[in-house]
Amino acid sequence: MLRELKTFIAVCQHGTFAAAGARTGLTQSAVSAQIQRLEEHLGRALFDRTGRSATLNGAGHETLALAEELLTLYARLEKLDGSVEHAGLLRVGAIASAQISFLVDAVQNFRRELPAWRIRLVPGVSLNLLGQVDSGEIDVAVIIRPSFALPAELSWRSLTTEPFVLLVPSAMAGDCASWRQILKQAPFIRYDRGSFGGRLVERFLLRARLKVNEVLEMDEIQGIVQMVARGIGVALVPTIAGPGGWPAGITAISLGNETFYREVGLVERTHHGQHKAARRFAEITAAAMPTACASAAQ
């Protein structure tokens, strides 16, 4: 709760959630989320809310005094030998396909360099992970780049771009049909349109003016791959879904000149709102990409 206590003190010092966010590098919604988490954890409201205004109440004043005392003691603890900066818990969010590919190398290299740090890998879809970085629930996240602009308090570090292909059961690929014809006729397994990657698929189908025979929609790419392998349908997926090659019984068909891509990267807080371990993890992940890509291509 230290992060939430710091945000709470900032609100008390600067008067409003918006002003506190501007000073701490958080959006107003992220400040609000942290205060709500603190109130739920303590089991009491700290502010009297009227419309858009929030005024510190009696419990809030008592909590403020104790919070300031607690953070003062924690600051003294940090100064004992400097070891706190070299150990701790790093919370890393990641989409599923990253967890089974390049993130393995990144975690291994980070652990070699900073063995005293523990890592908690938080799975999720890109939109949810983005919100968790913004609210401070996690420190950094590997996600698909959204189509909208990131909040000013967050920064984007591009890692790789992945072309989409059409996955089909190998028996179907032998019919010499074009990818367009296959999409028109075959049962279609849709990459969840609520995800950033699924939205790319939806835009591609609209742009190509293709009406598909949808039989299933799911977010987990490895699950989609297995569904295709069982002959349930065909699917449009990014190539990173098959590191080391696709399973037996599957053929990946190129979309040729109409190939589209998803950009995978790392979203992190701007430096003034980010601790050193998170920044170093981001640097190590970016450096691990050439090795990871080369391994996946073999």
- Is the same domain home to 153 and 176? no
- Is the same domain home to 267 and 150? yes
Phi then psi for 166, rounded to 5 degrees? -95, 115
Per-residue pLDDT at 11 exceeds 90: no
- Is the same domain home to 281 and 153? yes
Q: What is the number of structural domains in the chain?
A: 3
- Is the same domain home to 291 and 147? yes
Query: Of 78, 95, 116, which residue sits at a domain end?
Result: 78
Query: Of 78, 95, 123, which residue sits at a domain end?
Result: 78
Is the CB of residue 86 less than 8 Å from the CB of residue 116? yes
Mean pLDDT for 161-169 is 94
Mean pLDDT for 141-148 is 92
**75 vs 66, residue with greater confidence:** 66
Mean pLDDT for 124-146 is 91
**What distance separates the 2 farthest-apart alpha carbons in the chain?**
75
- Is the same domain home to 15 and 61? yes
- Is the same domain home to 130 and 270? yes
Structural domain of residue 19, as residue ranges? 2-78
Query: Of 30, 48, 78, which residue sits at a domain end?
Result: 78
Q: In CATH, what number is assigned to the domain containing residue 69? A: 1.10.10.10
- Distance CA(3)–CA(20), nearest Å, equals 13
pLDDT, tens digit, for every residue of 93-128?
A: 999 888 888 899 999 999 998 888 999 999 999 999
- Is the same domain home to 148 and 277? yes
Q: Per-residue confidence at 39, pLDDT binned at 50, 70, 90?
A: confident
At how many degrees (to 10) do helices 2-14 and 17-24 cross? 120
Q: In CATH, what number is assigned to the domain containing residue 142? A: 3.40.190.10
- Is the same domain home to 143 and 178? no
Mean pLDDT for 237-254 is 78
Mean pLDDT for 74-88 is 59
> What is the model's pLDDT at position 242?
44
- Is the same domain home to 104 and 141? yes
> What is the model's pLDDT at position 143?
95
- Is the same domain home to 153 and 168? no
- Is the same domain home to 249 and 108? no
Q: Which residues have CB under 8 Å from 189's CB, separation 6+?
A: 214, 215, 216, 217, 218, 224, 227, 228, 232, 233, 234, 235
- Could you write out the three-class secondary structure of the chain? CHHHHHHHHHHHHHCCHHHHHHHHCCCHHHHHHHHHHHHHHHCCCCEEEECCEEEECHHHHHHHHHHHHHHHHHHHHHCCCCHHHHCEEEEEEECHHHHCCHHHHHHHHHHHHCCCEEEEEEECCHHHHHHHHHHCCCCEEEEECCCCCCCCCEEEEEEEEEEEEEEEEHHHHCCCCCHHHHHHHCEEEEECCCCHHHHHHHHHHHHCCCCCEEEEEECCHHHHHHHHHCCCCEEEEEHHHCCCCCCCCEEEECCHHHCCEEEEEEEEECHHHCCHHHHHHHHHHHHHHHHHHHHHHC
Spacing of C-alpha 74 from chain mean position:
30
Per-residue pLDDT at 298 exceeds 50: no
